[in-house]
Amino acid sequence: MNSHCWKLADLRSVEPNGCTVFSTFACGGGSTMGYKLAGFHVVGANDIDPEMAEVYRANLDPDHYYLKPIGDLVKELRLGVVPDHLRDLDILDGSPPCSSFSMGGARDRDWGKEKRFREGQANQVLDDLFFDYLNLVEILQPRAFVAENVTGILIGKAKGYAKAIVQRARAMGYSVQVFEFDAAACGTPQSRRRVFFIGTREKCPKLVFSPSLRVVGQAEACSGLALDPSDVERATLKPGSTMRKYWDATEVGRYFSDSHPKGSLYTWKKNNPAKPVATIVASYVNQCHGHEPRKFTWKELLRLGSFPDDYDLCEPNRAKWNEKACYLVGMSVPPPMIRELSSAIFSQWLGTASRWENLTGEKATRQPVDPMA
């Protein structure tokens, strides 16, 4: 099974490893699919967005789903009895919303401000959500936790925030490592660098992890796809439009900022089909084909995000499929990133034979980032 070309039914053929996961901030299930590909049983999920809950349920059929703010879930569990399916978890997973730490946008000017992350959601202070997640870690006491975020959380003023996360986790009895790596190194045809805070409360050696799978380019990943002409038409940059002008003037593999007089449009890229595409963002604005004057269609976006070909977008209006697929891929952790990381956690920490020692005996080629430094 290729990382970029697979179907949901393939998950049924994965051999179970006997370990359990609960996923928070689950969105469309990118992380969940990664755990499933590694053999984990995902006992349930949590998210605040009803639209994402619909998509998650349609594709992954969870036994338990908590549609509510994570802070509300924390309050309920503190006041009540923890249900059996949340006891003795092997991993508590989470991807707290990261726009406050993104290198684009307002960054630290947004810290501490209450925001409505999507229409229909409750107002939340986004940079508090990581600590809500850690509160859940404290309550459920999983053997390990995995929390994903953007690389900007380790840069500038945000580095102090990263230190606070590590300090809080250590105060709860967890040893913590921080890894930064690219989805492309895990077989995803998309360059997407992310930071992962990994913690364990057991006596384990440091995790050894340095993914280096074969790099897959956009053309290879999308080969064999039968594209609907209407989807392509909706993705096309219209002749005479501003973006078409910059697409025409930009070399393959370069950003539109090269041809913009003020250097703007620095996130818009005319991707080289032979290489992984640049990071896909949720808004369906910045990723363009290299040899055709258009953005990617929904089928291509699923492949570029390493989502299964038969993933149900739960969108009755086909005119919105390109945008919906981009949102789901742009908001999700590519499944191969979690597959590779969780496989390492299982083999070195959680598996019976290797719980107390690293059987590889190999020195890590990529040392964990130390935000306390």
| Number of domains forming the structure of the chain | 2
Q: Report the candidate in 13, 3, 1 with the shortest Cα–Cα distance to residue 306.
A: 3
- Whether residue 84 lies inside any domain: the answer is yes
Per-residue pLDDT at 157: 84
Q: What is the mean pLDDT of residues 30-37?
A: 98
Work out the end-to-end distance of the chain between its first and last CA atoms, rounded to an integer number of angstroms. Answer: 40
* DSSP letter, residue 346: I
Q: Please indicate, yes or no, whether residues 155 and 247 belong to a single structural domain of this protein.
A: no
* Contact partners, residue 91, CB within 8 Å, separation at least 6: 19, 20, 21, 22, 35, 40, 142, 143, 144, 145, 146, 342, 345, 350
Q: Please indicate, yes or no, whether residues 113 and 257 belong to a single structural domain of this protein.
A: no
Measured CA distances, 337 to 38, 212, 340 (Å): 11, 11, 5
Residue 249 in this model has a pLDDT that exceeds 80: yes
Q: Please indicate, yes or no, whether residues 40 and 162 belong to a single structural domain of this protein.
A: yes
Q: Please indicate, yes or no, whether residues 258 and 169 belong to a single structural domain of this protein.
A: no
Residue 110 in this model has a pLDDT that exceeds 80: no
- Whether residue 3 lies inside any domain: the answer is no
Q: Please indicate, yes or no, whether residues 206 and 243 belong to a single structural domain of this protein.
A: no
Side-chain-side CA neighbours of residue 198 (13 Å): 25
Q: Please indicate, yes or no, whether residues 191 and 313 belong to a single structural domain of this protein.
A: no
- Whether residue 362 lies inside any domain: the answer is no
Q: Please indicate, yes or no, whether residues 42 and 180 belong to a single structural domain of this protein.
A: yes
Q: Please indicate, yes or no, whether residues 21 and 131 belong to a single structural domain of this protein.
A: yes
Q: What is the mean pLDDT of residues 242-263?
A: 97
Q: Please indicate, yes or no, whether residues 249 and 211 belong to a single structural domain of this protein.
A: no
- Whether residue 359 lies inside any domain: the answer is no
Q: Please indicate, yes or no, whether residues 86 and 67 belong to a single structural domain of this protein.
A: yes
Q: pLDDT tens digits for 212-230? A: 999 999 999 999 999 999 9
Q: Please indicate, yes or no, whether residues 54 and 164 belong to a single structural domain of this protein.
A: yes
Q: Please indicate, yes or no, whether residues 124 and 52 belong to a single structural domain of this protein.
A: yes
Per-residue pLDDT at 29: 98
Question: Residues 295, 284: contact at Cβ < 8 Å?
Answer: yes
- Whether residue 364 lies inside any domain: the answer is no
Per-residue pLDDT at 121: 55
Q: What is the mean pLDDT of residues 104-119?
A: 49
- Is 122 or 306 the better-scoring residue by pLDDT? 306
Per-residue pLDDT at 118: 52
- Whether residue 366 lies inside any domain: the answer is no
Per-residue pLDDT at 266: 92
pLDDT grade, residue 66 (50/70/90)?
A: very high
Per-residue pLDDT at 107: 41
Residue 366 in this model has a pLDDT that exceeds 50: no
Among 62-71, 72-81, 149-158, 313-322, where is mean pLDDT lowest? 149-158
Q: pLDDT tens digits for 174-207? A: 999 999 999 999 999 999 999 999 999 999 999 9
Q: Write down the mean pLDDT value for the chain.
A: 89
pLDDT grade, residue 128 (50/70/90)?
A: confident
Q: The domain spanning residue 116 has which CATH number?
A: 3.40.50.150
Length of the chain: 373
User: How buried is residue 365: exposed, middle or buried, by Cβ count under 10 Å (0-12/13-18/19+)?
Assistant: exposed
Residue 109 in this model has a pLDDT that exceeds 90: no
Q: What is the mean pLDDT of residues 25-52?
A: 97
pLDDT grade, residue 364 (50/70/90)?
A: very low
- Whether residue 260 lies inside any domain: the answer is yes
User: Containing domain of residue 22, as a range?
Assistant: 8-215+333-354
- Whether residue 2 lies inside any domain: the answer is no
